[in-house]
Structure 1
């Protein structure tokens, strides 16, 4: 029982460290052939959105909204995948509900 508690504490420390590291890791996604770019960190926070200025000249707000939405969703998906990969390194690929 004592060893189990020690292992749980080690895993908890590794997870806390991983969460801190995920704040600094970034992923980027784009849409519209790179006209909209979104950067997210490993904690699913959007850090930056870049919109190609020529998109604004088209005055097509619906298209711009769709491109931003697509890029944001892709960035968040990539961020979640990155976090899951990092978690798998700690848990040895074991899927533990509620950890991510």
Structure 2
């Protein structure tokens, strides 16, 4: 393979990666915790778009439980976002792990 072909392939991959990264904001992920009392929604580009807390989850005597539920839901949502991003971008890179990409 000559250098010109390699450069052309690299440019094509770069274009496909940019397109795939743009699509990440369209992929919605969500998670819940506390028996569904806390729900978090976000996108595969690691942006949280909403947090919904059932009013019954708010107990002034047990704020720590609510905090733990929020933390669990956020972490699960971010984990789902990471997995969705890896899947989307991995299809472009052929499974190659490119440091700093996602």
Aligned partner of 2:27 among 25, 29, 50: 25
- What is the match of residue 77 of structure 2? 75
> What count of residue pairs does the alignment treat as equivalent?
99
Aligned-residue Cα RMSD (Å) equals: 0.9
Matched, 1:89 2:91: yes
Distance across 2 between alignment mates of 1:87 and 1:21: 10
For normalisation by structure 1, the TM-score amounts to 0.93
| Runs of 5+ consecutive residues of structure 2 not aligned to the other structure | none
For normalisation by structure 2, the TM-score amounts to 0.92
Aligned partner of 2:5 among 3, 6, 11: 3
Secondary structure of residue in 2 paired with 1:90 = helix
- What is the match of residue 54 of structure 1? 56
Q: Is the 8 A contact 2:28 2:43 kept in 1?
A: yes
